[in-house]
Amino acid sequence: MTIIEVFDTVTCCSTAVGAPCVDLERARFEADLCWLAAQGATVTRYSLSAEPDEFVARPIVAVLLKSCGQDLLPIVLFDGKFCFGGTWPSRADLITSYETSEIRSTL
């Protein structure tokens, strides 16, 4: 089973729908993550404002943030491996990473 972890930018919620200006890309990404969860992936999101310890607890995330700063957020890991940073990946990109991760887990 694939584990997807998203280390998110600071926001009030995962979709930012309650924000003064709705981030449609973030909302689309949230829908794509829900779709992946329905396919069997385990999806966990961490917010920098609510769960900063999770960012420090993952060495790869801590190193990336130290070297690149918060502009690299969101950071998306598949099974602990860095896949995306600084952008909301498309569903097609997420599917490719998901399928690759699933294949790796069977080897």
Tell me the pLDDT band of 22, cut-offs 50, 70 and 90.
Answer: confident
pTM above threshold 0.75: yes
Q: What is the mean pLDDT of residues 19-29?
A: 80
Q: Is 42 helix (H, G, I), strand (E, B) or coil?
A: strand
The CATH code of the domain that includes 57 is 3.40.30.10
Alpha-carbon distance of 35 to 105, in angstroms, equals 20
For the range 97-102, what are the long-range contacts, defined as Cβ-Cβ under 8 Å and sequence gap of 24 or more? Answer: 98/2, 98/4, 98/36, 98/39, 98/41, 101/2, 102/2
Q: Give the tens place of pLDDT for each residue, 59-93.
A: 999 999 999 999 999 999 999 999 999 999 999 99
User: How many structural domains does the chain have?
Assistant: 1
Task: Determine the number of helices (DSSP H) and then strands (DSSP E) in the chain.
Answer: 4, 4
Range of the domain at 21: 3-106
